[in-house]
Copies of this chain bind each other. A is one copy, B any other.
Amino acid sequence: MSSDGLIGAVEAGGTKFVLALATQAGEVLARTRMPTNSPVETWPAMQAFFTQASAEHGPIAAFGVASFGPIDIDPASPAYGTFTTTPKPGWSGARFHEALGGFGAPIMVDTDVNGAAIGEWMEGAGQGCRTLAYTTIGTGIGTGVVHNGRSLMGISHFESGHIVPPRDAVRDPFPGICPYHGDCLEGLACGPAIERRWGKSLDQLGAEEINLIAGYIAHLAATLVLLHMPDRLIFGGGVMKAPGLVEAVRRETASRLNGYVSHPRLDEGLNSYIVTPGLGDDAGITGAIELGRQALATG
């Protein structure tokens, strides 16, 4: 790994980009945010930031990008770093390498949720975990699984929001809002599904609604345990801010596992096993800096 040179970090969200220039030790030397317009506007603005910050602080040795999607995150793919079929105008076919390739530095691109997972693993609630699962429950639902600091993927990034929980149609007759699956997890428990079902966000609702949504999230938690056996599960995103929700998710997950998985990591009550994020809004950019380090290590 090169011992000098700075890291350009990009957290690309659906509404805003956060950009940072940092040392390899993680000290942020320059930082900005800008709205997510079309690439015709966003690419030059991003280039301008890194050009100016680099002129001031020094050359850039690598870029790390944690981005909204869908996006190709397979380093072995010719389309690595390219947005695929996003409905966001202008972004389908846009590629981070077009915008950043001129700096001549290696680029590592991952999803926003994988980036946040890596950030939490580096400096947040996932420190010391060999396997960490970070899930966001917000406008959508997604999970990043990190093993020894690297995000796992197969032919594509994971899509945990679309697993289908068992449900009681008497207790919850709402058919779900997923255009593909109706009542998959995202269709039942993402922020917009909650708004559509009850006309309010979860933090404005009561224990009955909290427990219902907690049960769906706990289905994902138990499934992640059985299929990834993480050291810890982090649940973040806007929906998770509803008071009492994480406690209810712990109870419902313990009930579903019913003692089957016995390991010191799964403490009584799951209080240290299922947690909320440690970094808040900084997880994404922290993860993007680490992706830049990984780009340097990989070459």
**Residues of chain A having any CB pair with chain B under 8 Å:** 85, 130-131, 143, 147, 152-160, 162-167, 180-181, 219, 222-224, 226-231, 256, 258-263, 265
Contact of A165 among B143, B166, B230 (CB under 8 A): B166
B229 and A158 contacting across the interface, CB-CB below 8 Å: yes
Contacts known (A154-B130, A263-B155); A227 close to B164, Cβ less than 8 A: no
A261 neighbours in B (Cβ, 8 Å): 156, 159
Distance in Å: Cβ of A258 to nearest Cβ of chain B: 5
Contact of A166 among B153, B164, B223, B229 (CB under 8 A): B164
B166 and A258 contacting across the interface, CB-CB below 8 Å: no
Q: How far is the CA of A30 from the CA of B251 in the complex (A)?
A: 53
B164 and A229 contacting across the interface, CB-CB below 8 Å: no
A162 neighbours in B (Cβ, 8 Å): 226, 260
A226, A259, A260 — most chain B CB neighbours (10 Å):
A226
Q: How far is the CA of A229 from the CA of B163 in the complex (A)?
A: 13
Listed from nearest, the 6 A-B pairs whose CB atoms lie closest are A154-B229, A131-B154, A180-B260, A166-B166, A159-B226, A155-B229
Q: How far is the CA of A154 from the CA of B266 in the complex (A)?
A: 13
Contacts known (A180-B258, A181-B258, A260-B181); A226 close to B154, Cβ less than 8 A: no
B263 and A229 contacting across the interface, CB-CB below 8 Å: no
Distance in Å: Cβ of A121 to nearest Cβ of chain B: 13
Majority SS at the chain A contact face: loop
Contacts known (A158-B229, A227-B227, A229-B154); A164 close to B222, Cβ less than 8 A: yes
A154 and B260 contacting across the interface, CB-CB below 8 Å: no
Give 28 pairs: A residue, B residue, CB < 8 Å, sorted on A: A130-B155, A131-B154, A131-B155, A143-B227, A147-B152, A152-B152, A152-B228, A153-B229, A154-B228, A155-B229, A155-B230, A158-B226, A159-B260, A159-B261, A160-B226, A160-B227, A162-B226, A163-B222, A163-B223, A163-B226, A164-B166, A165-B166, A166-B166, A180-B260, A181-B258, A181-B260, A224-B227, A227-B228
B180 and A259 contacting across the interface, CB-CB below 8 Å: yes
A165, A219, A258 — most chain B CB neighbours (10 Å):
A258
- Among residues of B, the one whose C-beta sits closest to the C-beta of A166 is B166
Q: How far is the CA of A85 from the CA of B260 in the complex (A)?
A: 12
Q: How far is the CA of A220 from the CA of B167 in the complex (A)?
A: 17
Distance in Å: Cβ of A126 to nearest Cβ of chain B: 13
A-B contact sample (5 more), CB < 8 A, given A156-B263, A157-B229, A158-B229: A85-B262, A154-B229, A163-B223, A181-B258, A227-B228
Distance in Å: Cβ of A36 to nearest Cβ of chain B: 24
A167 neighbours in B (Cβ, 8 Å): 166
